[in-house]
């Protein structure tokens, strides 16, 4: 069988907006292909740059191209590392070594470009002695710039050009294993990404607690690298999802401040080696000022940072609603019988839920009207098929007029309940208090069959048992029951 052609940059751009809802293996590959395409484009632009007197120089245009190339390379490597499990060994060691070598080959030029830009922008603000020394260092950096450009060209040719097509091919296809007779619910990329974002929270807190002074360079380096990787994973989705955007923007500010500390430190070290003490002292003061800004914005507001991360995880979880191989939505949930309404839930103003089922044998359509505490009303029509653990769920909004016209058909099968919604980490717990019987149930929607959230501390003492697979507690059965169920525990 002929091998499929690699996905083009246009293909990737068209597919990327829906990557969060695709299987994790596909979403991770789309992310990697996105940054590979960005790197390939920057590499082509570098090849087309001007050559003066036989030497490729780091003109302003070349500097911008190199910056784009380094960003794409850094984010490609971050995605390959962070999504290694979802990529299923699609990237071999030789390719990883080549990408690492390309990064190392461009480090010196990048640092020199940043340092020259800093001297250009800030030299006038320095004391007179430091300003004179800055001009000396600027001249030294200019001499090295002309020598670095040809080395970068050779690095692209040696490390990138031989692997780009191979890497694109490996990332353009994948295989999914499916066990016969078991419902196929591939892990959505949004859920996989939520896990990666969630894990960084605890690690960031630990590293931030170690950032106690400008001398804590190792801890600051670890924080900066974590923020870089987070931004690499979230960048394509940050503008379309508010909570992801808030975390991306916060991570950007943190990375910029820590990057400024690092750049000032590197430049101060250059000044020390060049025996420019006034400039060294001025740069150390700059590094301290950036550190203090980071400490105020991050270390002193750690709870805000952790809350921003948690909200981004919740948003990703919402995007990770599972689907069948054919793209049909699945409802995967756990249901618990409660002995009473937990106080934490009781404090949340409830939404009134009215549900009714139109008579049918193989197919029963459900009507639902929800009235929020603020009085907003929404109406829905729903059909569910399959076992309770993982049901196909087809749902659409309907007008109030159509709802009112169809509602009389459900007179023989209705339930009325108050729903208290409590968010806990990445999960949304729905506590249903039935108005027509002494019954309280808790439900939580999951992102896959292997998703097993622990019962929250505020809920666990009130759980009688898990009733997920018990037909007696299906809403459609409750609506048709001739007699109310006994109180839990009786």
- Alpha carbon of 488 to those of 158, 330, 342, 465, 484: distances in Å? 70, 29, 14, 9, 12
330-480 folds as Hypothetical Protein Pfu-838710-001 (2.40.320)
Residue-wise pLDDT for 313-332, tens only, equals 878 877 766 555 555 556 67
Does the pLDDT at position 218 exceed 90?
yes
* Cβ neighbours around 138 below 10 Å, total: 15
Confidence band for 1, pLDDT divided at 50, 70 and 90: very low
The candidate with the shortest Cα–Cα distance to 333, out of 432, 453, 437, 414, is 453
pLDDT at 246: 93
Mean pLDDT of 228-249: 92
Name the CATH code of domain 9-318 (choices 1.40.20.10, 3.30.70.2190, 3.40.50.720, 3.40.50.2300). Answer: 1.40.20.10
**Where does the pLDDT of residue 487 fall: very low under 50, low under 70, confident under 90, or very high at 90 and above?**
very low
Look-up: residue for tokens 């997920």?
468
What residues does 463 pair with on adjacent strands? Answer: 338
Tell which wins on pLDDT, 51 or 137: 137
pLDDT band at 88 (very low <50, low <70, confident <90, very high): confident
Percent of the chain with pLDDT over 90: 45
Q: At what angle do helices 164-171 and 24-47 cross, to 10 degrees?
A: 160
Is 330-480 in the same CATH topology as 9-318? no
Domain parsing of the chain, residue ranges: 9-318, 330-480
Among 67-81, 179-193, 361-375, which stretch is predicted with the lowest mean pLDDT? 179-193
d(CA 151, CA 108): 10
Residue 393 has what pLDDT? 66
At 341-392, the pLDDT tens digits run 999 999 999 999 999 988 877 778 889 999 988 888 889 888 876 655 555 6
d(CA 470, CA 480): 15
Residue 43 confidence (pLDDT) above 90: yes
Tokens describing residue 125: 């603000």
Of the pLDDT bands very low, low, confident and very high (cuts 50, 70, 90), residue 200 is: confident
CA angle 254, 257, 259 (to 5 degrees): 105
What are 398-433's pLDDT values in tens digits?
889 999 999 999 988 899 999 999 988 667 899 999
| Nearest to 76, CA basis, from 107, 41, 32 | 32
> 397 — phi, psi (to 5°)?
-70, 150
Q: Is the pLDDT of residue 127 over 70?
A: yes
pLDDT for 57 beyond 50: no
What average pLDDT does this structure show over 247-254? 96
**pLDDT classification of 482: cutoffs 50, 70, 90:** very low
CB 413 within 8 A of CB 479: yes
* 4 burial level (CB within 10 Å; 0-12, 13-18, 19+): exposed
d(CA 184, CA 179): 8
The structure tokens 């060049």 sit at 274
pLDDT at 192 over 80: yes
């Amino acid at each position: 069988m002929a091998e499929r052609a690699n996905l083009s940059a246009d293909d990737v751009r068209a597919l990327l907006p829906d990557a969060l809802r695709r299987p994790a293996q596909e979403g991770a590959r789309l992310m990697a292909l996105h940054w590979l395409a960005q790197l390939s484009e920057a590499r082509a632009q570098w090849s087309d740059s001007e050559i003066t007197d036989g030497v490729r120089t780091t003109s302003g245009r070349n500097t911008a191209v190199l910056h784009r190339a380094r960003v794409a390379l850094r984010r490609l490597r971050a995605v390959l590392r962070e999504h290694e499990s979802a990529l299923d060994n699609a990237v071999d060691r030789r390719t990883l070594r080549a990408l690492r070598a390309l990064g190392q080959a461009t480090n010196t030029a990048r640092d020199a470009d940043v340092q020259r830009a800093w001297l250009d922008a800030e030299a006038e603000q320095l004391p007179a002695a430091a300003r004179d020394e800055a001009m000396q260092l600027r001249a030294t950096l200019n001499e090295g710039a002309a020598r670095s450009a040809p080395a970068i060209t050779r690095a692209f040719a040696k490390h990138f050009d031989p692997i780009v097509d191979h890497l694109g091919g490996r990332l353009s296809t994948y295989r999914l294993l499916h066990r016969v007779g078991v419902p196929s619910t591939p892990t959505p990329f949004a859920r996989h990404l939520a896990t990666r974002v969630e894990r960084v929270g605890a690690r960031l807190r630990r590293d931030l607690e170690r950032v106690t002074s400008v001398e804590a360079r190792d801890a600051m380096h670890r924080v900066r690298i974590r923020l870089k990787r987070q931004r690499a994973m979230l960048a394509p989705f940050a503008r379309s999802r508010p909570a992801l955007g808030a975390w991306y923007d916060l991570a950007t500010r943190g990375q910029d401040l820590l990057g400024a500390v690092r750049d000032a430190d590197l430049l101060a070290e250059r000044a020390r080696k060049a025996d420019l003490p006034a400039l060294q002292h001025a740069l150390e003061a700059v590094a301290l000022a950036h550190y203090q800004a980071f400490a105020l914005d991050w270390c002193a507001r750690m709870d805000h940072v952790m809350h921003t991360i948690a909200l981004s995880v919740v948003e990703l979880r919402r995007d990770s609603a599972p689907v069948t191989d054919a793209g049909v939505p699945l409802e995967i949930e756990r249901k618990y019988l409660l002995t009473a309404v937990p106080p934490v839930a009781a404090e949340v103003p409830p939404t009134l839920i009215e549900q009714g089922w139109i008579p049918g044998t193989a197919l029963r359509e459900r009507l639902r009207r929800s009235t929020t505490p603020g009085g907003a009303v929404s109406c829905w029509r729903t059909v569910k098929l399959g076992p309770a653990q993982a049901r196909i769920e087809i749902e659409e909004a309907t007008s109030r007029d159509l709802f009112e016209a169809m509602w009389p058909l459900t007179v023989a099968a209705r339930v009325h309940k108050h729903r208290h919604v409590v968010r806990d980490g990445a999960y949304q717990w729905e506590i249903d208090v039935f108005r027509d019987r002494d019954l309280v149930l808790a439900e939580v929607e999951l992102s896959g069959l292997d998703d097993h959230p622990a019962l929250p501390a505020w809920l666990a003492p009130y759980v009688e048992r898990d009733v997920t697979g018990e037909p007696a507690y299906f809403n459609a059965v409750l609506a048709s029951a001739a007699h109310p169920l006994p109180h839990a525990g009786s």
